Amino acid sequence: MPAAPAFHLAFPVRDLDEARRFYGGLLGCPEGRSSDEWVDFNLHGHQIVAHLAPQECAQVSTSAVDGHGVPVRHFGLILEMDAWQALADKLRAAGTKFIIDPYIRFKGEVGEQATMFFLDPSGNALEFKAFADMSQVFAK
């Protein structure tokens, strides 16, 4: 069976060392290739690339979702529930300021999921979520 496709995402950061501390240190993403202008990180088998572009780091637009201002431009992963909880605990212990605190969305309904939103040091929004039942990821 062939390996599942991996995504590639490039995004701007204001400082590469700051990005290394956040993505490599706090989130535990191993570093790949790099230059003076960019750094590859392995986000659970997916390639994310922090490009030095401070002029591109700006306030993001939000959209109202369940009473929260969800950043329109964001990325992240769907984790197993235990891994999601461990990450939420790690982020809380590190003093992370959440845009949306970790919580269960659609509790008791179709598509029930755990979610949390936070910013990297350059203002890029990340969402990490988990489903107790992975068959609910695309449920309507």
Would 8-56 and 62-136 be classified into the same CATH topology? Answer: yes
C-alpha pair distances (Å), 12 with each of 31, 70, 117: 16, 19, 18
User: Regarding the domain delimited by 8-56, which CATH topology (the fold level of the hierarchy) does it fall under?
Assistant: 2,3-Dihydroxybiphenyl 1,2-Dioxygenase; domain 1 (3.10.180)
- Domain 62-136 top-level CATH class: alpha beta
pLDDT confidence of residue 66: 79
DSSP symbols for 67-111: TEEEESSEEEEEE-HHHHHHHHHHHHHTTPPEEEEEEEESTTSTT
Tens of pLDDT along the chain (140 residues) come to: 567 899 999 999 999 999 999 999 999 999 999 999 999 999 999 999 999 999 999 777 888 887 888 889 999 999 999 999 999 999 999 999 999 999 999 888 888 899 999 999 999 999 999 998 888 888 88
Q: Where are the domains of the chain?
A: 8-56, 62-136
